[in-house]
Structure 1
Amino acid sequence: MTKLLWGCAALLTLFVTVESLSCYKCDVEIFSSCLKKAQVNCTGTQNTCYTAVANFSADFLTIYDRGCIAESECKNQTGSVLNVNYTITRRCCNTNLCNAASPLQLPLTAALCAALVAFWSQWIL
């Protein structure tokens, strides 16, 4: 009887693990290109994947973020910090790994190479 209970518990744990949502989390993202992307499983009330872009009224670098979030927190936000206004735009989705970067974006290395070629060609002409 004990073996049957442990077997049922193991099977139930397997189903719970399979049902969790997987999202991409990006720790370092510059110019909308993720430098260190990891796949994470959402836990607790975090039942939605998101991609966020924070824009500032001053000429700061735009900040990008992605990961798991509670569906109730998935909304755009505006505010002010030290007299600098900001807007956070979030895009949320509910399928596994749905917050990946758009395939139309150039990787950072390709964009840097194109910029170097354009700069170098100005010196030759």
Structure 2
Amino acid sequence: MMNRIVLGVIAVIGFFTLTEALTCNSCQVGVLGKCFFYTKVDCTASQNNCFTAKAEFNVTGFLSLSTSGCTSDCNTTSGSILGAGYTVNKLCCASNLCNGASAVQLSMAGALSTALLASIWSSYML
């Protein structure tokens, strides 16, 4: 009888440990290392890492975009958008809120510009 109780307690603890979702900082788009729309998100079971990614465009050299959130893919990627080459470097970590982000205030024009960049970039990142 005592063995069943001990096994039951272990099973319940294991269930809650396995189903606890990783929480990450999420930023759809940031410019020059600053996040504009920052939130906290719970990752899905298949997304076992938080990440921060930086996309650098080969043509400009100085302009970079960043994003952060949950992922299962921590690989560096490259490609092109409208003929401009880019490289995306991802830094991954596996504990809650380990991909720190900072938020800044935007003007209306800045927010609209950022939203446009985010919609173009996210269509290529997915």
TM superposition score normalised by structure 2: 0.61
Distance 1:17 1:99, change over 3 A: same
> Residue type matched to 2:100 in 1?
A
Q: What percent identity do the matched residue pairs reach?
A: 38
Alignment of 1:55-94 (within 5 A): 55-59=56-60, 61-70=63-72, 73-94=73-94
Alignment of 1:92-111 (within 5 A): 92-101=92-101
> Residue type matched to 1:50 in 2?
F
Larger radius of gyration: 1
Q: Which moved more, 1:19-28 or 1:75-84?
A: 75-84
CA RMSD of aligned residues (A): 2.8
Distance 1:20 1:89, change over 3 A: same
Gaps of 5+ in 1: 1-10, 110-125
Aligned to 1:117: none
Q: Which moved more, 1:35-44 or 1:84-93?
A: 35-44
Aligned to 2:47: 46
Instruction: Give the conservation status (yes or no) of the 8 Å contact 1:54–1:64.
Output: yes
Cα distance in structure 1, aligned partners of 2:16 and 2:23: 15
Greater relative CO, 1 or 2 (CA 8 Å, sep 6+): 2
Instruction: Give the conservation status (yes or no) of the 8 Å contact 1:25–1:40.
Output: yes
The size of the alignment, in residue pairs, is 93
Gaps of 5+ in 2: 1-11, 106-126
Q: CA deviation at 1:16?
A: 6.2
Cα distance in structure 2, aligned partners of 1:84 and 1:19: 41
Deviations 1:26-83 (A, max 9, x none): 134222111221110001311100000001112273110000001xx11111223443
